[in-house]
Structure 1
């Protein structure tokens, strides 16, 4: 199927992904997990448990599973446009396309939270785990860190040391004193994803500006709260409105207080509404005291803008 694993198309936390072809000519993605991959067994079981029970247009579809010796393999639909992270900081996609990707991703996460027998927490929402099909329809993928909890029970659970990308991890996941881990922890990660979408456009337009001292969410909050714009050049009025909407929704999602964040059903509603009616949330920026700006930057495949002058606070 993979011609001796000849065409590697990606590598995730739990395995390496290869391009494959079925006998009928259909293309597939083959994720191979084995002993060399840390926590491969746990990731393999989690992915099967999650994907096998989820059927939604915005969640990647599992086509097959193979376990042979120490090697575990997952076969899913091939996504010809790769992940949202690929490319040059989202520049290939227009703001209109990014809005549709954001909306589809939000619908996929909402389905995980509300549309299954058990609430499924993804726990690793980031651009690398949003795949794009031939029509740029987003598919939420990579469920190696996912967690289940009963809808009838508490809307939270305890969690060990996080292994997700620290840039997108909610404060309560990193520190027990900041609240319970819940579906709103995924909301936080999704909010960071929305802000990164606009940040990629902003960085492309900020040539000559010193960005190393700027933390984009804080910068954009200050600008919007003072009535300013996002300083995007060569964009239409509609595109400017879309950028503002993505930022405002993202800022609501990354509120430090868990109860201040909207549920994903509300996030979908906000992304569908007229952005002019969306109000900015309260100002809420801080880092858990045991996580430094250096830690957040070191876990990134692209630079996350953290202000050097900001000290982690509780």
Structure 2
């Protein structure tokens, strides 16, 4: 017999080994049940325990356990098999006298002893650990959401303070719902930049535009401020025009004039060419290089403040309907005074393969507008060769470094290998581009020409160009201003 603090109705399966509660013994505090000796006490609630001296010997005949239990309570005669119950009573008595609980395992067909509350302790310990883990996860999630909200609020405040400073001189400001309408709910994705995705859209007057959606929590709003504070206030034929912007909570967007021919890299590398898109012709290549140079000259010399781009590369040179180049993506740009020769940066910025050496180590010189000149030189070398300066798919052990390869061709007067046949005049134009580019990639920034000098070199004759020193080797002669 067992005593429990709570009443529970035995299930249909439990009827085979549990009977009760016994009405004549139970009250509102204790509920008594008869339990078969072959049943495990784990089937009972945790608050149940065996009543000492309450073992009954019942027959193991054809009657059900319920019928045998009712027979005991009604004081009917019964027979028992002492071959089993004798050992059961003796073992359970030893357990009870030792202050422990008696149980029976049907699998092993024998009794066993267990400590009072051991099952409760295990469950309680497991529950405590699980509750602690859940509590820690809830605290961590709440802390993360709180910090993220505060971070986004700080970025929003920073952006709004900047926009307030610029007043009405900035481009038109749109709401996010207006941006969605302009971008036609972002259905036509045309590109992916370093700071977000670009979608094709259309203004209310039918003018096609490109809408760049800036990714959340990138650059602490710096890329947005850089774009608006640079190209938002300047107009040049070779710089992409910013028509509007959106800053609404964590959502920020930039709206540019649409460039139908996309970026330059699709027309100078043979891997991009296909049946409907040919590589750019040498004559047009000179025009593109000259257009980029003029745009950079304007950034360095034509504005109230000098604008350093820090990410000049083919992907950031867009082409309009007439293949006129326009510099884009000013997310890494930095403003400085026109007479400031050296600028301070906390870390290198730009794209691998186009970053000037002084951005990695100040041992090569100070960071200045000459760092953009280096990137321009690498861009022109890729245009001339049709090869990438930094291509992870090419085995570097079997591939000659691009600037050195072009330098050897130029210095020995050899023709460079191109993807198409060219006339003598076209070869001269390509040679001029190569010489100008080699001047631009000198490791010592003082030996690189300014963009004004680059424009003059590109518009001048080949005969007036000096041969550059070998790239990456310091030479105290051959300095350019």
Q: Do both share a fold (TM > 0.5)?
A: yes
Task: Show CA shifts across 1:197-232 (max 9, x none).
Answer: 0111799xxxxxx99421121011112212222134
Q: Which stretches in structure 2 are left out of the alignment for 5+ residues?
A: 1-181, 271-277, 390-395, 474-481
Contact 1:33 1:40 survives alignment (8 Å): no
CA separation of 1:277/1:229 partners in 2, compared to 1, >3 Å: closer, same or farther? farther
Which of 167, 176, 190 pairs up with 2:362?
Answer: 176
Task: Show CA shifts across 1:147-190 (max 9, x none).
Answer: 111123x3111212223102000000111111100011000000
Which of 441, 466, 469 pairs up with 1:279?
Answer: 466
Deviation of 1:25 (Å): 1.9
Partner in structure 2 of residue 222 of structure 1: 408
Task: Show CA shifts across 1:20-75 (max 9, x none).
Answer: 01222210000101316x32611011100001221111011110011112110110
Is 1:89 equivalent to 2:269 in the alignment?
A: yes
CA separation of 1:88/1:265 partners in 2, compared to 1, >3 Å: closer, same or farther? closer
The CA RMSD over aligned residues, in Å, is 2.0
SS in 1 for 2:239: coil
TM-score (norm 2): 0.56
CA separation of 1:144/1:28 partners in 2, compared to 1, >3 Å: closer, same or farther? same
Is 1:58 equivalent to 2:238 in the alignment?
A: yes
Q: After TM superposition, what 4+ stretches of structure 1 lie above 2 angstroms from structure 2?
A: none
Partner in structure 2 of residue 142 of structure 1: 329
Contact 2:190 2:198 survives alignment (8 Å): yes
Which of 197, 203, 213 pairs up with 1:22?
Answer: 203
Q: How does 1:65-84 map to 2 (within 5 A)?
A: 65-84=245-264
Contact 2:199 2:212 survives alignment (8 Å): yes
Higher helix share: 2
Contact 2:268 2:280 survives alignment (8 Å): no
CA separation of 1:103/1:40 partners in 2, compared to 1, >3 Å: closer, same or farther? farther
Which of 333, 349, 373 pairs up with 1:163?
Answer: 349
Deviates more, 1:230-239 or 1:13-22: 230-239
Contact 1:241 1:276 survives alignment (8 Å): no
How many angstroms apart in 2 are the aligned matches of 1:212 and 1:226?
Answer: 22
Which of 441, 463, 466 pairs up with 1:254?
Answer: 441
Partner in structure 1 of residue 186 of structure 2: 5
Partner in structure 2 of residue 101 of structure 1: 288
How many angstroms apart in 1 are the aligned matches of 2:318 and 2:381?
Answer: 18
How many angstroms apart in 1 are the aligned matches of 2:308 and 2:241?
Answer: 17
Deviates more, 1:110-119 or 1:217-226: 217-226
CA separation of 1:8/1:211 partners in 2, compared to 1, >3 Å: closer, same or farther? farther
Q: How does 1:29-48 map to 2 (within 5 A)?
A: 29-35=210-216, 38-39=218-219, 41-48=221-228
Contact 1:34 1:40 survives alignment (8 Å): no
Partner in structure 2 of residue 293 of structure 1: none
SS in 2 for 1:16: strand
CA separation of 1:149/1:268 partners in 2, compared to 1, >3 Å: closer, same or farther? same
Deviation of 1:245 (Å): 0.7
Aligned residue pairs: how many? Answer: 278
CA separation of 1:178/1:201 partners in 2, compared to 1, >3 Å: closer, same or farther? closer
How many angstroms apart in 2 are the aligned matches of 1:101 and 1:144?
Answer: 22
SS in 1 for 2:429: helix
How many angstroms apart in 1 are the aligned matches of 2:247 and 2:388?
Answer: 45
Contact 1:124 1:168 survives alignment (8 Å): yes
Contact 2:247 2:253 survives alignment (8 Å): yes
How many angstroms apart in 2 are the aligned matches of 1:261 and 1:184?
Answer: 7
How many angstroms apart in 2 are the aligned matches of 1:96 and 1:42?
Answer: 38
Contact 2:203 2:209 survives alignment (8 Å): yes
**Higher-Rg member (1/2):** 2
How many angstroms apart in 1 are the aligned matches of 2:307 and 2:398?
Answer: 37
Contact 2:305 2:335 survives alignment (8 Å): yes
Q: How does 1:104-143 map to 2 (within 5 A)?
A: 104-143=291-330
